[in-house]
Amino acid sequence: MIHNPISNGKKSKLIIQERKRDNNPLFSVIDIIITILSYFFAYFITNLIHTEYFVFTREYVIMLFLIIPTWAILLQTSNLTKIPRTRSNLDIFFNFLNFNSIGFALLFLYKHLFGLTAFSHYYIISFSVINLLSLYTFRIVTFRVFKYFRATGHNIHNVIVYADKNSEKFIEAILNHKEWGFRILMIITDSQEIKKKYTGNIRTLPDKFDLKRILDIDIIDEVIYCKSVFEEDKVRNLIDMCEEIGVTFRLQSDLSPMSATNAHLTNIENTLFVTFMNTPKNSLALAWKSFSEFWISFVILFLLSPLMLFIALIIKFTSQGPIIFKQERVGLRGRKFYIYKFRTMVQNAEELKKLLEKHNESSGPTFKIKNDPRITIIGRIIRKTGLDELPQLFNVLKGEMSLIGPRPPIPAEVEKYERWQLRRLSVKPGITCTWQIIPNRNEVLFDKWMKLDIQYIENWSLKKDLLLFFKTIKTIFWGTGY
């Protein structure tokens, strides 16, 4: 429990909402498929009772088309498409039971609202029970699979813990439950008990240590403050430090006296935390973004596969070197991955870059030349249209990138970033963003480019993503890149 000293003697009110995390777009699709299968299985079961009474009429088709969008919305808003990290099976079951109860009531409402008189009440009961058990069983199975992968080091959140002598129970909970997917990179504490127990296994630092130095050089997803005494000035400073670059900050509290519109209540093993995030927080919209981008990428790859094959053959027969150019980039909060592009330069382009650096026409740490001699003839054409970026759709399918988001920089560029510029790494990078749709975008100064990306993060919405998507298509036809 945290003791909250408040100067004016009154607690400020917080607008608290549950953070829906780890939403998986594939689950949304599978859940709907399971729901449809449950619908037909329920008909088969109820039809065994009385064949003549349960006839699959037009009303059953209408109800199915009502169920699909309703279930999709309910599953998202009920926070059931996420992979839970710390919740028990019983808790998950009651969440599904709550969701199922709402769905059950809506089915009766639809039956009478749309005049579906031939639709059986027994069928609604049968479908609700079967759907509940099917969805819950699928989620538990997948939960166990994800727990296994987290326990073996996948989908890990790197955390820093601010601790005192009363924090041992919480630290042990994280260490003992590897399936939660939290890795404690370091503990910041002045407690001799904590230092004595964990020094040697976990890096421990004194409380006066400058957190900013760590955040700037390490891959940190969250900072967790679980000291039993609330130090308001220190916590405010830590929050500001994390907000600046988009790192999540958790404050253990029965309710913090600190007022912030970007705070919400979360729960880790029955311990409440006020979590501060300076990245987009509309969970339903973010879930839809992930879901839609996955399937849009899949459809685009399918439809444009002949064009991609044609481009690949031209590259193969007109210049030496691989068809696909693979380059290390920096993604979400500093995670490195390999980006895929159609090769547009000569094979030894990286070596030639050193000779051309004095001709760099870009400000900041980026490197761009309008008439870059390393670019091949075919490469110049596909770069102007942006078709060289098409292989990055595979990065989207792998979950490394989004369709819309700040472009992923190379590690050498990130090393030269100013601190405020690191915030563009607080969201998943994208194939296109605000900078990509600007006419003569390569003439835009680096600082303005960075500010455009941060402006995108601060004002993110599905509507803005949709507009950027269509403007990108327009840019492809105008051919404004180089």
Distances (CA, A) of 269 to 75, 172, 176: 23, 11, 12
Beta strands in 321-447 (DSSP E): 324-330, 336-342, 402-404, 430-432
What is residue 10's predicted lDDT score, i.e. its pLDDT? 34
**For residues 417-423, average pLDDT:** 84
What is residue 37's predicted lDDT score, i.e. its pLDDT? 92
What residues does each domain of the chain span?
25-151, 157-276, 283-478
Q: Are 168 and 194 in contact (CB under 8 A)?
A: yes
Per DSSP, 52 falls in state: T
What is residue 271's predicted lDDT score, i.e. its pLDDT? 61
Q: How many helices (H) and strands (E) does the chain have?
A: 16, 11
What is residue 28's predicted lDDT score, i.e. its pLDDT? 76
Which of the residue ranges 68-77, 86-95, 315-324, 365-374 has the most confident prediction, judged by mean pLDDT?
A: 315-324
- φ and ψ at 250, to 5 degrees? -115, 130
CA–CA separation, 325 and 368 (whole Å): 17
Q: What secondary structure does DSSP assign to 163-180, as a single string?
A: --GGGHHHHHHHHH-GGG
Q: What's the mean pLDDT when you consider all of the chain? A: 79
**For residues 131-154, average pLDDT:** 81
Determine how many CB atoms are found less than 10 A away from the CB of residue 408.
27
The confidence band for 260, taking pLDDT boundaries of 50, 70 and 90, is very low
Residues 6+ apart with CB under 8 A from 382: 311, 342, 344, 388
Residues 6+ apart with CB under 8 A from 271: 170, 226, 252
CA–CA separation, 350 and 347 (whole Å): 8
What is residue 478's predicted lDDT score, i.e. its pLDDT? 67
For residue 81 the two structure tokens come to 């498409």
Distances (CA, A) of 253 to 1, 114, 249, 268, 294: 7, 48, 12, 12, 37
What is residue 11's predicted lDDT score, i.e. its pLDDT? 31
- CATH top-level class for 157-276? alpha beta
Higher-pLDDT residue of 127, 459: 127
Q: Is the pLDDT of residue 309 over 90?
A: yes
Tell me if the pTM is above 0.85.
Answer: no
Among the residue ranges 56-60, 278-282, 410-414, 448-452, the one predicted with the least confidence is: 278-282
User: Residue 286, Cα to own-chain centre: how many angstroms?
Assistant: 7
Higher-pLDDT residue of 278, 430: 430
For residue 453 the two structure tokens come to 């990306």
Q: Which residues pair with 307 in a beta bridge?
A: none
